[in-house]
Chain A
Amino acid sequence: MKLPQKKSLLLVWGMLAAAALLPVLSSNDYYLGLGINLSQYVLMATAWAVFSGPTRYVSLASVAFYGIGAYAVAVVGDALPLPVVFLIAVAAGSLLALLVGLATLRLSGTYFVIFTFGLAELVRQLFTWYEVNITKTVGRYIFLEVTPRQIYWELLALLALLFALSWWIQRSRLGLALRVIGEDEMVARHIGIDVTRSKLVLFVVSSAFITLTGAIMAPRWTYIDPAISFNAVISFQVVIMALLGGAGSLFGPVAGAIPLSLLFEFLSARFPNHFSILLGAAFMVIVYFVPNGVAAALSAWWRRRGKAAA
């Protein structure tokens, strides 16, 4: 089990480095835009799986954090240097995650799904209400001199950080605790693992990364409003990509996010009029013929090999 982990780790680091070089080699904006899109979803799907993989909680709140990140940039982006803005975004996202986590992590699976969806919508409604009644302007303008290339590199750097962190978590006491929780929560409680605290830590970490993704992306759109920043479709895409790839392993979401983003791109470029129909059909084909996700199939094979080796 360790060997392929290490191998795939190397592979991923190599891919990241290669990806970082791309904009130097080609100045084509379209490929850069595609790269931004890919890394954004890889990042969010991986961050999502950091929490949802081990705990098996399906969270639909991703966009609440994503939107908060975007708003942090819109609100204080003009006044403060970008790193400080990012810190503020992370602080805001983590705080919300902490509150939500404390309140909800005792809910059972399905209810958690809908709760997080409701939460994202609630945040959106509250933002809208605040903007309409307090600031009296709903749209906000972001005029930061951030180039797409810079956004792309920021995303990749964050992704590298996320991989390093999740790799470290897996090897730490927390990771061990999480594996026990994932196997059987009752057992975990009995051997003295603080289940709620472990889940909470993961939820905050995961949410902080998603918040940062939103903050990094925001300068790309010039104009944001709550409908754009808190678009529930984003949450669904993240979940679907992570599940398709397999949320259980570190690189599973990568295996889901990349092919799906490319599929979205291909279909919308080639079949704009029948995009929905083809996308839906492709989706169903994947569900029927790649059960349990792309990476899950691979990692099952790895696990079998690992067990045989041991």
Chain B
Amino acid sequence: MSNRRQFIIRSAVLGGAAAVMGAPALLHAQAASIKIGYTVSKTGPNAGGATSQITPVYKMWVREVNDAGGIQVGGRRMPLEVIEYDDRSSSEEAVRAYERLATQDKVDFVLAPWSTGINLAIAPTLNKYNYPHLAVAAITDMAPQLVKRWGNIFFVQGGGSMYGEALMDILDVQRKAGLIGSNIAMVSIADGFGVDLSGGARKAAAKHGFKFVYDKSYPVGTQDMSPLINEAKALNPDVFVAFSYPPDTVALTEQARVSSFNPKVFFVGIGTAFPMFLKRFGANVEGIMGVGGTNADDPRFKEFYKKHVELGGAEPDRFTNINIYSSLQILQQAIERAGTLDRAAVIAEIKKGTFDTANGAMKFTDQQWRDLWFTGQWQNGQYYGVAPAGKPGARKVLLPKPAWKPV
């Protein structure tokens, strides 16, 4: 109740401020900062992903904005004030934390948490308080239906089946060029991510006439990948596809190397674009394909990379981190264009605007950004986007993947 009242007062003040630009002294008397809140899974099963993708990017953005004096809101710069909670990878904790942010801390804007489940769990709350919700680290095929339900949510990384389809599309091109045959071995992790991506791949593969010689899922927490890799190897496929999570991505790659499994296409899931992956496998990453990607030659990426290391304190991955950063740039620009902290106005800006981000120009269609990289490949020690092939900066796929080098 008091939240709304204060909010109305504040927006009235700011709206007035925009009109009466000539009274800076009066403006400084008002609350001068923008309150931003979010949760990150510092502990629990999501911590590995959340702390390497959310934490450094948010930290970097806040420092960047505050170093510049703040966000330009209707004629003056308002620095950011940050409230951060740990949702402990639990949907219930996250819901309560965002309720706390909305009603106790009365933050002006929220930033999204990590994982599909947690983003969807908090969506009704954020919808109720009409916070713009840029759910980057959430991949769901339901996005087209969800945006009808919640007018404040924005999806940046598409739906799971799109990744599977995009991969099959580029494999089809390679097959037509005579570089690979039709046999695919596929493994996927047994959760929403793995099921959506493998489902999309299966459908697209049927369309293109690919054949699965091996198609299995494995449970979260599997420690040993040798049975999967060795069985796949025995079937001698041209293409190996794994829709996997970071620990499994490393374990599958490691096992393939140890077992000298050298398919022409070696594709693994989340984690392929992580700096950890490069550190672990060194020169052996060459030719490995994976989920997502980036245009690593783009000066905007290079600038992002540099800032991420300097301000965020760690190397970014080559996919999600830059998308998260871009979502923050969108929020910032939308606030600046709206010239107010009124959330409805900011949401309207996000819906209609085209934004200049580290990803290039970004625009939402039906609250979804569809122009993203779906597939990438390590080439010369850098991870590049290769699909969609028509996207500016897309590299050509290099096949076959070179055989594993001894370590």
The verdict on A139 contacting B92 (CB below 8 Å), with A132-B195, A223-B121 known, is: no
6 inter-chain pairs at a CB distance below 8 angstroms, sorted by A residue, are A125-B219, A138-B195, A221-B121, A223-B116, A269-B100, A272-B86
In the assembled complex, the Cα of A31 lies from the Cα of B90 at a distance in Å of: 19
Contacting pair B195 A131 (CB below 8 A): yes
- B102 on the A face (CB < 8 A): yes
* Segment at the B interface, from A170-178, A182-190, A226-234: A226-234
Q: Which residues of B contact A (CB under 8 A)?
A: 1, 42-45, 84-86, 88, 90-93, 95-97, 99-100, 102-104, 116-117, 120-121, 123-125, 128, 140, 142, 149, 190-192, 194-196, 199, 217, 219-220
In the assembled complex, the Cα of A257 lies from the Cα of B104 at a distance in Å of: 23
Tell me which residues across on chain B come within 8 A of A129, comparing CB atoms.
190, 219
Contact of B191 among A222, A223, A225, A276 (CB under 8 A): A225
Contacting pair B191 A128 (CB below 8 A): yes
In the assembled complex, the Cα of A225 lies from the Cα of B85 at a distance in Å of: 23
Tell me which residues across on chain A come within 8 A of B123, comparing CB atoms.
222
The verdict on A222 contacting B85 (CB below 8 Å), with A29-B103, A33-B95 known, is: no
- A239 on the B face (CB < 8 A): no
Tell me which residues across on chain A come within 8 A of B90, comparing CB atoms.
228, 231, 233
0/1 string, A207-229, CB within 8 A of B gives 1? 00000000001001111111110
The verdict on A141 contacting B91 (CB below 8 Å), with A222-B121, A222-B123, A272-B84 known, is: no
Tell me which residues across on chain A come within 8 A of B104, comparing CB atoms.
30
In the complex, what's the smallest C-beta–C-beta distance from B335 to chain A, in angstroms? 24
Contacting pair B91 A128 (CB below 8 A): no
In the complex, what's the smallest C-beta–C-beta distance from A237 to chain B, in angstroms? 10
- A10 on the B face (CB < 8 A): no
Contacting pair B190 A268 (CB below 8 A): no
In the assembled complex, the Cα of A303 lies from the Cα of B128 at a distance in Å of: 50
Q: How large is the interface on A (under 10, 10 to 19, 20 to 34, 35 or more residues)?
A: 35 or more
| Closest residue of A by beta carbon distance from B150 | A222
Tell me which residues across on chain A come within 8 A of B1, comparing CB atoms.
27-28
Contacting pair A217 B125 (CB below 8 A): no
Contacting pair A217 B92 (CB below 8 A): yes
Contacting pair B95 A133 (CB below 8 A): no
Contacting pair A228 B117 (CB below 8 A): yes
Extra inter-chain contacts (15) besides given A30-B103, A269-B85, A272-B86, CB under 8 Å: A29-B128, A32-B99, A33-B100, A34-B96, A37-B92, A128-B190, A132-B217, A133-B217, A137-B195, A137-B196, A139-B140, A220-B121, A265-B96, A272-B84, A275-B42
Identify whether the interface residues of A are mostly helix, strand, loop, or mixed: helix
In the complex, what's the smallest C-beta–C-beta distance from B349 to chain A, in angstroms? 26
Count contacts between A and B, CB distance < 8 Å. 111
Contact of B199 among A136, A221, A231, A275 (CB under 8 A): A136
Which of A125, A141, A233, A272 has its CB near the most chain B CB atoms (within 10 A)?
A: A272
Contacting pair B85 A272 (CB below 8 A): yes
Tell me which residues across on chain B come within 8 A of A108, comparing CB atoms.
none
In the complex, what's the smallest C-beta–C-beta distance from A196 to chain B, in angstroms? 34
Contacting pair B125 A29 (CB below 8 A): yes
Contacting pair A223 B120 (CB below 8 A): yes
The verdict on A227 contacting B45 (CB below 8 Å), with A33-B99, A268-B86, A269-B85 known, is: yes
In the assembled complex, the Cα of A138 lies from the Cα of B196 at a distance in Å of: 8
- A143 on the B face (CB < 8 A): yes
Contacting pair A30 B42 (CB below 8 A): no
Contacting pair A268 B191 (CB below 8 A): no
- Nearest 4 Cβ contacts at the A-B interface: A223-B120, A139-B192, A30-B103, A138-B192
Identify whether the interface residues of B are mostly helix, strand, loop, or mixed: helix
Tell me which residues across on chain B come within 8 A of A137, comparing CB atoms.
192, 195-196, 199
Contacting pair A222 B195 (CB below 8 A): no
In the assembled complex, the Cα of A233 lies from the Cα of B46 at a distance in Å of: 14
| Closest residue of A by beta carbon distance from B103 | A30
In the assembled complex, the Cα of A276 lies from the Cα of B217 at a distance in Å of: 33
Contacting pair B191 A138 (CB below 8 A): yes
Contacting pair A132 B120 (CB below 8 A): no
- A273 on the B face (CB < 8 A): yes
The verdict on A268 contacting B99 (CB below 8 Å), with A129-B190, A275-B86, A276-B43 known, is: no
Contacting pair B99 A29 (CB below 8 A): yes
Contacting pair A136 B103 (CB below 8 A): no
The verdict on A29 contacting B102 (CB below 8 Å), with A143-B149, A222-B123, A223-B117 known, is: yes
In the complex, what's the smallest C-beta–C-beta distance from A26 to chain B, in angstroms? 9
Tell me which residues across on chain A come within 8 A of B199, comparing CB atoms.
136-137
Contacting pair B95 A139 (CB below 8 A): no
In the complex, what's the smallest C-beta–C-beta distance from B92 to chain A, in angstroms? 7
Contacting pair B102 A225 (CB below 8 A): no
Contacting pair A227 B220 (CB below 8 A): yes
In the assembled complex, the Cα of A136 lies from the Cα of B197 at a distance in Å of: 11
In the assembled complex, the Cα of A222 lies from the Cα of B43 at a distance in Å of: 22
Tell me which residues across on chain B come within 8 A of A30, comparing CB atoms.
96, 99-100, 102-104
| Closest residue of B by beta carbon distance from A131 | B195
| Closest residue of A by beta carbon distance from B102 | A29
Tell me which residues across on chain A come within 8 A of B190, comparing CB atoms.
128-129, 131-132, 138
In the complex, what's the smallest C-beta–C-beta distance from B192 to chain A, in angstroms? 4
In the assembled complex, the Cα of A37 lies from the Cα of B149 at a distance in Å of: 26
0/1 string, A119-132, CB within 8 A of B gives 1? 00000010011011
In the assembled complex, the Cα of A10 lies from the Cα of B39 at a distance in Å of: 40
0/1 string, A227-252, CB within 8 A of B gives 1? 11001010000000000000000000
Tell me which residues across on chain B come within 8 A of A265, comparing CB atoms.
96
Tell me which residues across on chain A come within 8 A of B196, comparing CB atoms.
137
In the assembled complex, the Cα of A226 lies from the Cα of B190 at a distance in Å of: 10
| Closest residue of B by beta carbon distance from A137 | B195
Contacting pair A222 B142 (CB below 8 A): no
